[in-house]
């Protein structure tokens, strides 16, 4: 290797840090173990200050009920800087980004949350543009992050004086009575609350697009294309032009056009259950079409996925059927792969084994067939949350991220964002304060310490599907130790966790026969590595939590580069496309004793010996799944190590 090239390699290696890169999109993923980050886009990060007062919306609402400036560009910025990667997030749930009513409602302020729809076909200008939304989805996918779009099919936005003459007509919505929540009849054909017009989802009558909406599209230069797309949809499906079918069409456009991976459905029990099966069916068709048309952008071949908010669905207690408010409905048989679990925030007060065994039973025995319930501790609606005063943030992170099933991190859970902001904020506004990124400037702040805790467990969870989806087994009580094992659909994974007090686990730790001697393991909490010997592994960690799994990412350090002999390996072609060859200039090489590994520019291992093929005097390596960019190949044998810089074009 030439000296100048070596300097480049060492410069890169010396800046390596633990983190994720685009290749992480190749990590195994199943929804049952997803780590979902739920973000109110307007409250997260202001990436474009020029759109802060779109539609001339003033900030004259009650405290924390105005638009605050967060937008899609802010989300994009945080994705690209690796914030979600380092947290182990593999799905982003964003509040509805569609255009909301322009005016405010007395006492309730503006529709910054996105649930007051005006025009389903357009991204709200306070958040960005349709094109920017597409960019957001693409960039999320590049980081292995699925996108869940929050959707509303129960109601439109309130009538306001600002939006005068742009209200939905009576053939589209009902404005009375208000719901009394007494069984389906008191919950579905009624207004959720006063002045939240209820969409006539039960109707099969043909209706026309309101004249004000057609005029709006015409002024925006979009009328012809919108009408053409509607005609195409109704011709293809044969559906009536009923209110719900228009909205289903407008919602699935975000899948068909941009590749949205799934929906989080709002106010599920306020709509007839068979409507959700219609939505899911069209979603599956749309996502399959998008993936067929965008093979270079898709993450996998998984189908469209839906989770739903059935308010006060207590998953472990109710099982598959929601039995609250006079209902007895299996929504899992009506389009949903997942429902949000409102019980976990209370169960989190219990001990670890009580929680874990309860939720293992829910996932493995009560729901089954790929169905799951999403656990959360806080969200945007529920006043009763776990640790409202943020006094138990480490406990919260441990319990949420190690419990079987999908986990929902509500924005700021990982940074101890205040849920008691004061300043006159009241009701659900207190749950929707601005993200506290500024508190991360102090590395000793509660925000920073909590974030580091979440990151460690989040990384463990993302790299090992067994943590969220594997079968849970307690191994001993004191110290409390458990394992998780997953072996389905061609994915096999194991994880082992020790819990206790600081300095409990500095010595050799039993791996309970999960891994053979000679296996390299990582403790994801301390970041240290160990090799199994005599059935044990010694990490020397001083922490009271040890998260053990086989490393899927391995940092290549400068100390691993042998500069004494850098000319015994040839790798070609360089640049390469889908395959590589490695040969040696030394005669005493036994190729079956050579170790080969490739790392991305962040030092993350992306390929190892299990992916190479030895042919006579060369090693053939197939690398079709690697993204374009620079890589480092480490070749080692007989105490010699060489690092080669390679470019994939």
Active site residues: 266, 309
For strands 146-151 and 262-265, give the pairing. parallel
What contacts 433, CB < 8 A, 6 or more positions away?
43, 64, 412, 417, 418, 419, 421, 425
Give the CA radius of gyration of the chain.
27
Beta strand segments in 40-188, E: 91-94, 98-100, 117-123, 146-151, 173-174
Which residue matches tokens 């390299």?
Answer: 520
For residue 373, the number of C-alpha atoms closer than 13 Å in the C-beta half-sphere is 34
CA distance 486 to 491: 7
Buried b (16+ CB within 10 A) or exposed e, 48-64: beebbebbebeeebbeb
Instruction: Annotate 446-460 with DSSP letters as a single string.
Output: HHHHHHHHHHHHHHH
Instruction: Annotate 507-545 with DSSP letters as a single string.
Output: SEEE-TTSS-TT-EEEETTTTEEEE-BTTEEE----SSE
- Asked whether the beta carbons of 608 and 597 are under 8 A apart, the reply is yes
Which residue matches tokens 């005669």?
Answer: 587
CA distance 483 to 473: 5
CA distance 199 to 214: 19
- Asked whether the beta carbons of 334 and 274 are under 8 A apart, the reply is yes
Which of helix, strand or coil describes residue 287?
Answer: helix
Q: CA 467, 473, 479 angle in degrees (round to 5)?
A: 95
346: left (phi over 0), alpha (psi -120 to 50) or beta: alpha
CA distance 127 to 47: 9
CA distance 335 to 275: 9
Instruction: Annotate 622-648 with DSSP letters as a single string.
Output: E-TTPPSEEEEEEEEETTEEEEEEEEE
- Asked whether the beta carbons of 612 and 628 are under 8 A apart, the reply is no
Rounded to the nearest 5°, which phi and psi values hold at 537?
-135, 135
CA distance 530 to 548: 10
Of 521, 581, 510, the C-alpha closest to 551 is 521
CA distance 554 to 559: 14
- Asked whether the beta carbons of 212 and 206 are under 8 A apart, the reply is no
């Amino acid at each position: 290797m030439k000296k100048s090239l070596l300097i480049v390699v060492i410069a890169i290696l010396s800046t390596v840090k633990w983190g994720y890169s685009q290749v992480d999109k190749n990590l195994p993923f199943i929804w049952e173990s997803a780590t979902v980050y739920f973000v109110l886009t307007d409250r997260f990060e202001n990436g474009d200050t020029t759109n802060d007062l779109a539609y001339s919306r003033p900030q004259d609402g009650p405290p924390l009920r105005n638009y605050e400036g967060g937008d899609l560009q802010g989300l994009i910025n945080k994705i690209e800087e690796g914030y979600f990667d380092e947290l182990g997030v593999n799905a982003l749930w964003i509040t509805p980004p569609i255009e909301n009513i322009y005016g405010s409602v007395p006492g309730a302020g503006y529709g910054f949350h996105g649930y007051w729809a005006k025009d389903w076909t357009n991204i709200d200008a306070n958040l960005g543009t349709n094109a920017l939304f597409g960019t957001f989805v693409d960039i999320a996918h590049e980081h292995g992050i699925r996108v869940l779009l929050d959707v509303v099919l129960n109601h439109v936005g309130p009538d306001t004086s600002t939006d005068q003459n742009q209200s939905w007509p009576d053939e589209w919505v009902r404005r009375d009575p208000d719901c009394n929540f007494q069984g389906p009849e008191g919950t579905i054909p009624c207004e959720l609350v006063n002045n939240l017009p209820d969409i006539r989802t039960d109707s099969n009558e043909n209706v026309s697009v309101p004249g004000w909406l057609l005029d709006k599209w015409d002024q925006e230069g979009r009328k012809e294309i919108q009408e053409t797309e509607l005609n195409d949809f109704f011709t293809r499906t044969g559906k009536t032009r009923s209110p719900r079918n228009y909205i289903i069409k407008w919602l699935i456009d975000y899948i068909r056009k941009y590749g949205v991976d799934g929906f989080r459905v709002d106010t599920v029990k306020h709509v007839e259950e068979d409507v959700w099966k219609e939505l899911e069916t069209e979603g599956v068709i749309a996502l399959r079409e998008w993936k067929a048309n965008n093979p270079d952008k898709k993450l996998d071949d998984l189908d469209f996925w839906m989770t739903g908010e059935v308010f006060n669905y207590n998953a472990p207690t109710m099982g598959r059927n929601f039995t609250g408010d006079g209902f007895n409905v299996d929504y899992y048989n009506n389009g949903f792969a997942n429902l949000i679990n409102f019980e976990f925030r209370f169960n989190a007060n219990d001990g670890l084994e009580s929680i874990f065994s309860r939720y293992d039973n829910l996932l493995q025995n009560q729901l089954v067939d790929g169905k799951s319930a999403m656990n959360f501790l806080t969200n945007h609606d529920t006043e009763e949350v776990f640790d409202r005063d943020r006094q138990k943030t480490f406990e919260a992170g441990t319990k949420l991220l190690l419990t079987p099933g999908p986990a929902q991190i509500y924005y700021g859970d990982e940074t101890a964002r205040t849920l008691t902001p004061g300043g006159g904020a009241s009701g659900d506004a207190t749950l929707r304060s601005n993200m506290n990124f500024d508190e991360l400037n102090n590395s000793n702040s509660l925000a920073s310490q909590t974030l580091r805790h979440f990151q460690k467990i989040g990384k463990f969870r993302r790299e090992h599907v067994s943590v969220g989806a594997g079968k849970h087994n307690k191994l001993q009580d004191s110290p409390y130790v458990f394992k998780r094992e997953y072996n389905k659909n061609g994915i096999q994974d194991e994880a082992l966790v020790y819990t206790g007090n600081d300095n409990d686990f500095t010595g050799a730790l039993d791996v309970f026969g999960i891994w053979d001697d000679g296996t390299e393991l990582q403790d994801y909490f301390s970041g240290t590595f160990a090799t199994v010997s005599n059935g044990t592994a010694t990490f020397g960690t001083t922490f009271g939590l040890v998260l053990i799994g086989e490393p899927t990412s391995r940092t290549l350090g400068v100390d691993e580069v042998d500069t004494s002999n850098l000319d015994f390996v040839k790798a070609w072609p360089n640049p390469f496309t889908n395959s590589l060859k490695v040969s040696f200039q030394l005669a005493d090489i036994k190729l079956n004793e050579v170790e080969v590994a490739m790392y991305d520019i962040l030092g993350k291992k992306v390929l190892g010996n299990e992916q190479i093929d030895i042919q006579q005097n060369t090693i053939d390596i197939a690398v079709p799944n690697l993204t374009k960019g620079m890589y480092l190949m480490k070749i080692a044998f007989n105490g010699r190590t060489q690092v080669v810089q390679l470019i994939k074009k």
